[in-house]
């Protein structure tokens, strides 16, 4: 699946950057191949518009903001939050005048301290993460950066119990026990919930953060997939501590995504400093990034003949099945890359003992 060619993906909310990033002026962002300018019409009112002035095509992200307007840096044309041109300084007008000129404006909202954008009428609301308004939880912002991988690869990896022992062997994975933990999946209209108990290594940094002295522990995981490229991983430890990680792979183009990650924790800054929490989670995510940036950006929803599978791939297979069904409901076909590799059938071993 090539994300920029699937029209239905324009109908989902995607976090693109922290609201604080807009305090010093407009910023550019590319979402599903669309060049956007993001700016603040008011302190907590972000706006997303096409990043091209309708006059001489200058990038509006090179402009400035004033009085709730976006001002083009080329000729000073002023735009309101709906994308309409409301003032041309060359006309020497002292008051605003409605014009028929303007640029496309998109649905834009602030939630959890981040700017969310949907290019078309969304099929679902921005998820309501209960920890955000649950007493005893705090939010920790983690990172917001570009990864050179497809958002769907990031999501499949997030629900893959088989990669811990290898990708994360330097952080929490138990390389001596590579067998993936069992899991259960409960389906929803907009995704699914995966429940699993994962035995993990508990390194020294985590022993202090979790206040668990043993060198091993168990993560009770409730991982919620929000179609197409979002998840919340709620980890509950044996002592009751909850660490919930929200991760989105917002699609920039067919080969890269903006990874937005923040977390909620049921402890205090004094018990577990945010800097130390982020240091461990950052180590884990960089291990993921190293591998994911070596994967193909074209993820086949119709897997037959393109990728082999194993039992622990079930969450990713369910994702692909649900996305295929979504495309069918929207009257779309899967957009496939021209160079998608096709698996060649293997000849059976002549000696059955070779089949292992």
Q: CATH code at 277? A: 3.90.380.10
What are the C-alpha distances in Å from 283 to residues 140, 143, 172, 202? 16, 12, 10, 14
Whether residues 64 and 147 share a domain: the answer is: no
Token pair belonging to 170: 């330097």
Q: Is residue 78 part of a domain?
A: yes
In what order do the strands lie in the sheet containing 45-50?
Answer: 14-18, 114-118, 105-111, 45-50, 34-42, 27-31
Encode 258-278: b = buried (16+ Cβ within 10 Å), e = exposed.
bbbbbbbbbbeeeebeeeebb
Give, in order, the Cα–Cα distances in Å from 32 to each of 12, 222, 304: 11, 29, 26
Q: pLDDT at position 350, please?
A: 60
The burial of 107, by beta-carbon neighbours within 10 Å (0-12 exposed, 13-18 middle, 19 or more buried), is given as middle
Q: Residue 355: its pLDDT value, please?
A: 46
Q: What is the pLDDT of residue 109?
A: 97
Task: Tell me, yes or no, whether 30 lies in a domain.
Answer: yes
Query: How many domains in the chain?
Result: 2
Q: What is the pLDDT of residue 353?
A: 52
Q: Which residues form the domain of 31? A: 3-118
In a domain? residue 339: no
Q: Please tell me whether residues 162 and 271 are part of one structural domain.
A: yes
* Residue ending a domain, choose from 292, 318, 336: 292
Residues 146 and 108 reside in one and the same domain: no
Whether residue 137 is found in the same domain as residue 281: yes
pLDDT of residue 349: 64
Contact by Cβ (8 Å): 124, 188: no
- pLDDT at residue 344 in the model: 72
Asked whether residue 20 falls in the same domain as residue 42, the answer is yes
CA distance 86 to 98: 6
Full pLDDT tens readout for the chain, 356 residues: 999 999 999 999 999 999 999 999 999 999 999 999 999 999 999 999 999 999 999 999 999 999 999 999 999 999 999 999 998 888 866 567 767 889 999 999 999 999 999 999 999 999 999 999 999 999 999 999 999 999 999 999 999 999 999 999 999 887 788 888 899 999 999 999 999 999 998 889 998 999 999 999 999 999 999 999 999 999 999 999 999 999 999 999 999 999 999 999 999 999 999 999 999 999 999 999 999 999 999 999 986 778 888 999 999 999 999 999 999 999 999 998 887 777 777 666 665 554 44
Q: Where residue 55 sits, what CATH number does that domain have?
A: 2.102.10.10
- pLDDT confidence of residue 94: 58
Task: Show which of 236, 260, 292 is a domain's final residue.
Answer: 292
Rounded CA-CA distance 279/255 in Å is: 27
Q: Which of 238, 262, 292 is the last residue of a domain?
A: 292
Same domain, 106 and 181: no
pLDDT given at position 356 = 43
The alpha-carbon radius of gyration of the chain (Å, integer) is 23
């Amino acid at each position: 699946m090539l994300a920029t060619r699937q029209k239905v993906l324009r109908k989902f909310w995607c976090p693109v950057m922290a609201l604080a990033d807009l305090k010093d002026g407009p910023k550019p962002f590319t979402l599903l191949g669309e060049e956007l300018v993001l700016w603040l019409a008011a302190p907590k009112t972000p706006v997303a518009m096409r990043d091209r002035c309708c006059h001489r095509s200058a990038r509006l992200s090179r402009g400035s903001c004033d009085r709730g307007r976006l001002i083009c840096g080329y000729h000073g044309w002023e735009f309101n939050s709906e994308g309409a041109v409301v003032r041309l300084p060359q006309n020497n007008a002292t008051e605003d005048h409605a014009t028929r000129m303007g640029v496309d404006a998109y649905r834009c909202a602030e939630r959890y301290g981040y700017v969310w954008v949907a290019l078309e009428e969304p099929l679902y609301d921005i998820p309501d993460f209960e920890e955000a308004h649950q007493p005893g939880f705090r939010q920790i912002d983690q990172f917001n950066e570009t990864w050179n991988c497809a958002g769907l690869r990031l999501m499949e990896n997030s629900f893959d119990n088989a990669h811990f022992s290898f990708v994360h062997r330097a952080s929490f994975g138990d390389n001596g026990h590579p067998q993936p933990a069992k899991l259960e999946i409960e389906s929803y209209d907009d995704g699914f919930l995966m429940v699993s108990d994962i035995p993990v290594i508990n390194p020294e940094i985590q022993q202090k953060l979790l206040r668990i002295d043993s060198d091993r522990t168990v993560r009770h995981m409730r991982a919620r997939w929000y179609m197409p490229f979002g998840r919340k991983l709620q980890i509950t430890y044996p002592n009751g501590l909850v660490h919930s990680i929200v991760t989105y792979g917002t699609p920039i183009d067919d080969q890269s995504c903006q990874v937005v990650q923040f977390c909620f924790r049921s402890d205090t800054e004094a018990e577990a400093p945010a800097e130390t929490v982020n240091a461990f989670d950052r180590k884990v995510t960089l291990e993921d990034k190293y591998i994911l940036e070596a994967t193909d950006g074209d993820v086949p929803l119709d897997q037959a003949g393109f990728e082999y599978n194993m039992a622990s791939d079930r969450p990713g297979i369910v994702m692909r099945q649900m996305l295929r069904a979504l495309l069918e409901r929207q009257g779309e076909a899967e957009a496939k890359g021209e160079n998608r590799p096709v698996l060649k059938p293997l000849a059976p071993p002549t000696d059955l003992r070779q089949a292992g």
